[in-house]
Amino acid sequence: MQRQITGFHLDDKNDWVAELSCCHGQHVRHNPPWTNREWVVTEKGREEKLGEWLNCVKCDSGQPADF
């Protein structure tokens, strides 16, 4: 299900997690060269992604809210 990004936080492993409008978290790791999301490490980059849509597989599988 497509959900909007409402915020970001770091998890206990220092990986970035996008907070979705459905109260699910989704990892948006910057882990080059496999996963390149340079935007996530800067505040400006993250700000620009607020309101963007991500596919939430947790909604599709009916998982409880993360936060």
> Can you give the binding site for Zn ion, defined by CB under 5 A?
22, 24, 56, 58-59
Print burial letters for 21-35: b (CB count within 10 Å at least 16), e (below 16): ebebbbebbeeeeee
In the complex, what is the shortest distance from the CB of residue 33 to Zn ion, in angstroms, rounded to a whole number? 29
In the complex, what is the shortest distance from the CB of residue 51 to Zn ion, in angstroms, rounded to a whole number? 16
DSSP, collapsed to helix, strand or coil, labels residue 16 as strand
In the complex, what is the shortest distance from the CB of residue 60 to Zn ion, in angstroms, rounded to a whole number? 8
**Closer to Zn ion at the Cβ: 32 or 64?**
64
How far, in Å, CA of 47 to CA of 7, rounded?
Answer: 8
**Closer to Zn ion at the Cβ: 33 or 62?**
62
